[in-house]
Amino acid sequence: MSQFSASSQSLYEEVDSVWRKVSLRLMPLLIVCYLFAHLDRINIGFAKSQMSADLAFSETVYGFGAGLLFVSYALFSVPSNLALVRFGPRRWIAFLMCAWGAMSTAMFLVTTPQEFYFLRFCLGAAEAGFFPGILYYINCCFPKHYRGRIIALFALAVPIAGILGGPLSGGIIVGFHHVLGLHGWQWMFLFEGVPVVLLGLVVWRFLPDTLTSVKWLSDEEKAYAVRAVSQPQEGPKASTFREIISNKNVWLLVCIYFAVRLSVNTTAFWLPTFIHGTGIGNDGVVGLLSAVPYIFGAAFMVYMGRSSDLNDERRWHLFISLVMAAIGLVVAGAFPANTWVVMIALIFLGMGSSAALSMFWQLPPTFIAPAVLAGGLGLISSFGSIASFLAPSMIGWVRDTTQSSSLALYVLGALIALGALLVLATPEDKDGVHN
């Protein structure tokens, strides 16, 4: 018995070493790429005040231009993911990064609303295929029982961008204002856009299309990895795009992802405003406090990803995460002037929204066959962009109308709680086979 146990342990360590090697080779680059993707999406918020003043942009011009990104994101997610399958991950992801890096950099040249609209639309079109494309790539490179922790690692870029984005963008805007005749917001777009183009070239050079093409795995390791990733999973799956459209479980996932994006984007766009509302007027203090929910969120995301893998369970992990986010929003709305209560509520929101983002993407492969997974992920991601536009718009409209965020937070909390309940309506994944 002891000899058998020792042999099993040796085999487990050998197998685990393969996935450690794959993750160490792939994930650092993908995390950095997604960090800049999220930063280039939200940095317009940091530029808003100075940019609008310099260019005489009204709130309507700014709001419409900022929202155009999500319109083009919705339009191009599916075709972009289908192009990834056609041209290969390495070429297509590199192309997308060079394109959105160029669009983000070109923002420093904006002088009119029309130019602003055009570049924001193009930025959304270029970014649309990146996140769902990388999710598809992860599904092609890692087996089911590793994807929870791997997607959690990838999604760490979101809270990291939240932690670093404010100090970095704010520091550039203030520190480089009027340097070489450029405004601070222009330098911000330059400093945060050019590196994406360079990263695109790195992706072109180093990201493998498949594990069979790499040189850092032995032939035996490649053969094992391919078998593990391609192992068939039980249960009926949509195997054509028409079946995806008609599959009720896929549309259930769309509704759930809507709730996930409501929580994520409320955190991303309104966190500093909630802290300001408690009476803290110092922008430096607000920036530091804004990082706290993201720090807790990053740690909780990694914990939940590993827990879901070890327990081979996804639904309850996602349910708990969404419930935490909903509770955080409701409590923040109920006690808007109490700094301590609001901070605790925002920590709950940060933990729940961060973990929910990574947990959700464990569900689609349960209902969508690998052959059409790229299109399915693009479809779900495109509908999520509607929530990305709705959450900040709803809060802004309610604040203008009632001079308070509370009603909007109650509504958003209820919608997210409904999304949590819908998670439990999805069929339980019976495929518990580990490799």
Q: Identify any residues that bridge with 238 across adjacent strands, giving them in sequence order.
A: 368
Q: Give the other-Cβ count within 10 Å of 220's Cβ.
A: 10
Give residues with Cβ within 8 angstroms of 396, minimum separation 6.
63
Angle between helices 2-55 and 144-155 (to 10 degrees): 30
Per-residue model confidence as pLDDT tens digits over 310-323 = 888 888 999 999 99
Residue 54: what pLDDT?
83
435 pLDDT band, cuts 50/70/90, is very low
The pLDDT, as a whole number, for residue 400 is 66
Of 256-260, 285-289, 422-426, give the lowest mean pLDDT range.
285-289
* Domains delineated in the chain: 18-231 (1.20.1250.20), 235-430 (1.20.1250.20)
**Per-residue pLDDT tens over the stretch 207-237:** 998 888 888 888 888 888 888 887 665 556 7
Helix (H) / strand (E) containing 86: helix 59-87
CB 144 within 8 A of CB 366: no
Condensed to tens digits (0 to 9), the pLDDT of residues 101-143 reads: 999 899 888 888 899 889 989 988 888 888 888 888 988 888 8
Q: What is the pLDDT of residues 155-184, one digit of tens each?
A: 888 778 877 776 777 778 778 888 888 888
pLDDT digits (tens, 9 = 90+) for 36-68: 887 877 777 667 667 878 888 776 677 677 777
Q: Would you say residue 5 has pLDDT above 60?
A: no
pTM of the model as a whole: 0.77
φ, ψ of residue 238 to 5 degrees: the values are -70, 125
pLDDT tens per residue, range 388-403: 666 666 666 666 676 6
Contacts of 391 (CB under 8 A, 6+ apart): 261, 262, 265, 266, 269, 412
